[in-house]
Structure 1
Amino acid sequence: MTENINGKVVVITGASSGLGAETARHLSTLGAKLVLGARRLDRLQALASELGLDAKAIFQTDVTDRNQVKALVDRAVELHGRIDVILNNAGLMPGSMLDKLKVDEWDRMIDVNIKGVLYGIAAALPYMQAQKSGQIINVSSVAGHKVGPGGAVYAGTKWAVRAISEGLRQEVKPWNIRTTIVSPGAVATELIRTITDQDVATGMAKTYEKAIPASSFARVVAFAMSQPDDVDINEVLFRPTSQAY
């Protein structure tokens, strides 16, 4: 059912690597009009070159800065006259035991994983309300469903994403806006490289030994996007078949 993707204007945050970059590649093959944001401009430029995107289709974006996120979405509307989908994908996962008191990492996760999603919603929602259509896709995690040692703050941010998304789902019905939460398990990305607590990093490395490729996430996003306008895929939770928790 990929015919509902062709021509859609899609904004992706955290698009320079991992889930964001792979989703951009997949949606590009399905005919989406992409506008990509991330902090690492050099990687964005390389991805734009790979996908044959205009230089204006990328925008250096730190999702902790509300103005930068708004400028990213504004760029999509300037280029294409509308925004059909925003994928709030940017995220960090520096898990640690709470008694390590990695407060700076807690603050950064809250800023990126929660505020970044809220800023994406704030930037896209007025346009979608005016259009009376659109789809907001927010990235949670298996950690947004269950909590383990070393993952308290990260899980807290991902539970928050699910709560925000559910509230959003209920509020946007008058404008025919769809909302989707994607909650992946162990998917091969750079996330585990952000873990500085060595005990947690060791345990997470074992979990990710059988991680599935980022293309699995891209297919889930495409599935949610490709549904007819009267079908709203509200949440997809998926893991590697070998992942027990």
Structure 2
Amino acid sequence: MTENPTPSSSPTHKVVVLTGASSGIGAATALRLAAEGHHVVLAARREDRLAELVAQIEAAGGSAEAHRVDVTVAADVRALLESVVATRGRVDVVVNNAGVMPLSRLDALRVDEWDLMIDVNVRGLLHGIAAALPHFQRQGSGHFVTVASVGAHAVSPTAAVYCGTKYAAWAITEGLRQELDPGIRVTTVSPGVVESELAGSITDPAAAELMRTYRRNTVPADTIAAAISYALAQPDGVDVTEIVVQPAAQR
């Protein structure tokens, strides 16, 4: 499941925009979808990482481009979508993957970190929806994929705010699915513990120690990429509403 498939000449190739594409799930998804023959548009703040990823994709025969984007800035995300449509003629998929996870207990009062999670995990998602939706509606087709978390379904100590943002992401995405015409598909992918840099944003010592124990069992980021690929590959009229993927030991 973790081996990238061979590119094909299938007419189902799509133009896919990925936020948070510079590492972890975003980078793994970019590599997998490019290998499947899709054109991947990589969006993140770390331009050097994006350039390396584009070079890796192109060296393997894939098609990719990079854009420096801060998802907390609505104008950045809107300009990204407008640029893609202007140059590629369409956008087929938006994977709202950008996220941060600086965990801490509420009584640590790390308000700046709470605000950061709200800005990236919730506002960033809304900015992606607002930027892409007019294009999808004009096309009469499109696919939103939200990368949420098992934290959208269960709360644990030190993760109250993070889980709150992921509950919000789940609810926003489900509301979007219910509101849209069937031609526009909507999927939530909720990963458990994944090999990524996400835990590197934790500055609270107690939360960092808990996370070291929590992350003893992980799945590769490409496992989540494969779930996203599965949702995208379904025929028109099939809506994969949600996929939860986690280590068996995380039960």
- Alignment TM-score > 0.5, same fold: yes
Distance 1:72 1:5 in 2: 24
Distance 1:6 1:61 in 2: 27
Distance 1:75 1:208 in 2: 38
Q: Deviations over 1:50-108 (max 9, x none)?
A: 111778x2110010000111111122212210010000000000110000000000000
Q: CA deviation at 1:204?
A: 1.1
2:17 maps to 11
Q: CA deviation at 1:6?
A: 4.2
Cα distance change on mapping 1:5 and 1:166 into 2, 3 Å:
farther
What secondary structure is seen at the aligned counterpart in 2 of 1:34? strand
Question: What is the letter of the counterpart of residue 44 of structure 1?
Answer: L
Aligned residues between the structures: 242
Match of 2:36 among 11, 30, 40: 30
Q: Deviations over 1:139-179 (max 9, x none)?
A: 110100000110000000000001101110011126x1000
Unaligned runs of 5+ residues in structure 2 are 1-6
- Counterparts of 1:17-166 in structure 2, within 5 Å, are 17-52=23-58, 57-166=65-174
Distance 1:196 1:233 in 2: 36
What secondary structure is seen at the aligned counterpart in 2 of 1:242? helix
Is the Cα contact below 8 Å between 2:39 and 2:63 reproduced in 1? Answer: no
State the TM-score, normalized to the length of structure 1: 0.95
State the TM-score, normalized to the length of structure 2: 0.93
2:201 maps to 194
* Runs of 4+ that moved beyond 6 A: 2-5
2:236 maps to 229
Is the Cα contact below 8 Å between 1:5 and 1:222 reproduced in 2? Answer: no
Distance 1:207 1:28 in 2: 32
Distance 1:54 1:243 in 2: 36
Structure 1 vs Structure 2 CA RMSD: 1.7
